[in-house]
Amino acid sequence: MRIPAVLAIAGLVAVCLPVSAVAAPGQCANPSGTYTGEVPWGQRLVDPARLWPLTRGDGQLVAVLGTGVDGQNTQFAPGQLEGGPGTERADCDGRGTIAAGIVGAQPDPSTTFAGVAPGAHLLPIRYTDGSATDGGGDPGALAGAIDTALNRHAGVVLIAVPASADSPALSAAVARARAEGAVVVSAAAATQRGARSYPTATSGVLAVGSVNPAGEPVQSEAGDHLGVAAPGAELVSTSAGAGGAVAHRWPVTDPGLAAAYVAGVAALVRAYHPELRGDQVVTRLTLTAHRPASGGHDPRLGWGVLDAYAAVSSTLPADVAPPGAAPVPASEPAVVPAAAPARPAADVAAGTIALAGVALAAAAGVAVAAVRRARRRNWRPSRFTP
């Protein structure tokens, strides 16, 4: 797969093996320090600062479902973490705080790291302490966490720690979220080949694969349920155990964190396009992704690597079909994304995407303009007699 140039290097000052996002057994997560190196590669790939003149995610509530979020890390703005019943502003495991930082950590002069949607508010919900040996949580408890997020009117629900099994309650919670117009984002985090995580594999959920700085998929889970891919290896983000400071953990490799990047971009899209339903946001994210080399669906990359700028700024028909949908009748214009190799975000023309419907509309406009100019010059079509 050809990939944006920013994927060629990791961009981290520390040269060491990636570490897990999970705290060691019997210990709580602690920071690596305050990150002051080059802008992290995942952040450069998504490039949220390019979108902040358009949207910072203001007015959006992103629920972070997992292990809680450490409210003492001061890279979260005062009041950015919502409180109330069902929320948890402590995080021994650490994964919830890392995911929340990727979504919404504030730009700060002490660090080059910042979240994707710093204008969004975060709803920290703990449904697991992270002690399960498979890294997942109880599906019934996760279903309750989704319901809590919906009761608080979250527009984006990030499953920072998916469950390793499904349940009727979990499927029902996802169905409710979809009916209420929320976007549910969950990572492909199963650790055994052939296994699936939930609600990642549930219909209506945006399932996210993970890539490393070389653009290679890093997660074990694969299948036709994968929607898009995003950075999930050698990352930087906010750390639990900050103790009232700006503190980070790096380099972190965890497939679950790719979903945090997608959730942050979903918040930007919802803020910039408030008229869109949840399913339409998912369609926009998948249609505008950088396609795999095959041009089609990849079992580990989905429809391609996330393209934040195109997702927010592209002009798409309101009811454009998602990738892989059944063909529209011949009487209707087909709207299909171009099967092109990935390219740097800077090369993507603002507000455009290669869609057949848009091309047809442009061609029609050119033809109309040409006829009007010809008529002003008293041109008449010749009559052809066979």
Taking residues 331-359, report their average pLDDT: 38
Taking residues 172-179, report their average pLDDT: 98
Whether 11 shows a pLDDT value over 60: the answer reads: no
The pLDDT of residue 319 is 73
Whether 331 shows a pLDDT value over 50: the answer reads: no
Whether 119 shows a pLDDT value over 70: the answer reads: yes
The pLDDT of residue 122 is 98
Among residues of the chain, what percentage have pLDDT more than 70?
76
Q: What are phi and psi of 359, to 5 degrees?
A: -65, -40
Whole-number average pLDDT of the chain: 83
How many Å from the N-terminal Cα to the C-terminal Cα in the chain?
54
The pLDDT of residue 20 is 56
DSSP character for 218? -
Whether 381 shows a pLDDT value over 60: the answer reads: no
Residue appearing with tokens 């214009």: 333
More confident residue, 241 or 359: 241
The pLDDT of residue 354 is 39
Alpha helices in 93-167 (DSSP H): 95-104, 139-151
The pLDDT of residue 320 is 81
| Strand pairing class (248-252; 235-238) | antiparallel
What is the per-residue pLDDT across 15-32, written as a single tens digit (0 to 9) for each?
Answer: 333 455 556 656 899 999
The pLDDT of residue 31 is 96
Poorest-confidence range of 228-242, 255-269, 303-317, 338-352?
A: 338-352
Calculate the alpha carbon distances from 47 to 53, 180, 330, 346 in Å.
12, 30, 39, 10
Whether 351 shows a pLDDT value over 80: the answer reads: no
The pLDDT of residue 322 is 80
Q: How far apart, in whole angstroms, are the C-alpha atoms of residue 141 and residue 139?
A: 5
Among residues of the chain, what percentage have pLDDT more than 90?
69
Q: What share of the chain is helix, strand, coil (3-state, %, to 5)?
A: 25, 15, 60
Beta-sheet strands, E only, within the chain? 61-66, 121-126, 156-159, 183-187, 206-211, 226-231, 235-238, 248-252
What is the per-residue pLDDT across 86-117, written as a single tens digit (0 to 9) for each?
Answer: 788 899 999 999 999 999 999 999 999 999 99
The pLDDT of residue 323 is 84
Taking residues 60-78, report their average pLDDT: 97
Residue 371 banded pLDDT, cuts 50, 70, 90: very low
What is the per-residue pLDDT across 191-240, written as a single tens digit (0 to 9) for each?
Answer: 888 999 999 999 999 999 999 999 999 999 999 999 999 999 999 999 99
Q: How far apart, in whole angstroms, are the C-alpha atoms of residue 298 and residue 303?
A: 6
